[in-house]
Structure 1
Amino acid sequence: MVLTGRRLARMGKVYSDDLRRRVVCGDGGGQECGDVGAVFDVAPSTAGNWYRRYRRESSHAARPLGGDRRSKLTEHAGWIGERLAETPELTLLPPVRAGSRHPDK
């Protein structure tokens, strides 16, 4: 588990390729996702997602972990640099829902 703010976040499980293959074969054999999930101790949604991915991509292998590691701000570097040149000390505030007031205002 990872502590994020005040809540604990559970990390996803890593499943073996063999388990994925057996679940996909069970779903492909006409069994319901819930039944297959119960037999192999995975969530019905997981069984269904693996089966749909197998039908789409012909692969039951896990996707790489970690996601995109490139900066999301690279394309905005010029704008950010200009703002910092105008005001060297900026404070980032947490996002606020539309229509509500920020606690600091």
Structure 2
Amino acid sequence: MARILSSDLRRRVIEAIEGGVSTRAAARRFSIGVSTAGSWHRHWRKTGSYEALP
């Protein structure tokens, strides 16, 4: 079953990636999946929003 992850975690992951950390390293650092980190970053680049879709 999927966990609910906070908006704060999303923001920290995206900021790490934008700061130069690879997506894989950010995922490992915050204990989330690589695909999750990548999809959050793509969503942020497309919309500028840290918030999850409804």
Corresponding residue number in structure 1 for 2:11? 21
Larger radius of gyration: 1
Percentage identity across paired residues of the two chains: 39
Give me the CA root mean square deviation. Answer: 0.9
Q: TM-score under structure 2 normalisation?
A: 0.91
Aligned length: 54
Q: How big is each residue's C-alpha offset from its partner over 1:46-99, in whole Å with a ceiling of 9 and x where there is no partner?
A: 1111011000000111111xxxxxxxxxxxxxxxxxxxxxxxxxxxxxxxxxxx
Q: Offset of 1:12 from its aligned partner?
A: 2.1
> Which of structures 1 and 2 has the larger relative contact order (alpha carbons within 8 angstroms, sep 6+)?
2
In structure 2, the gaps of 5 or more residues are none
In structure 1, the gaps of 5 or more residues are 1-10, 65-105
Q: TM-score under structure 1 normalisation?
A: 0.49
Measure, in 2, the Cα distance between the counterparts of 1:18 and 1:49. Answer: 16
Considering fraction of residues, name the structure with more helix: 2
After TM superposition, which residue ranges in structure 1, 4 or more long, deviate above 6 angstroms?
none
Please state whether the residue corresponding to 1:12 is helix, strand or coil: coil
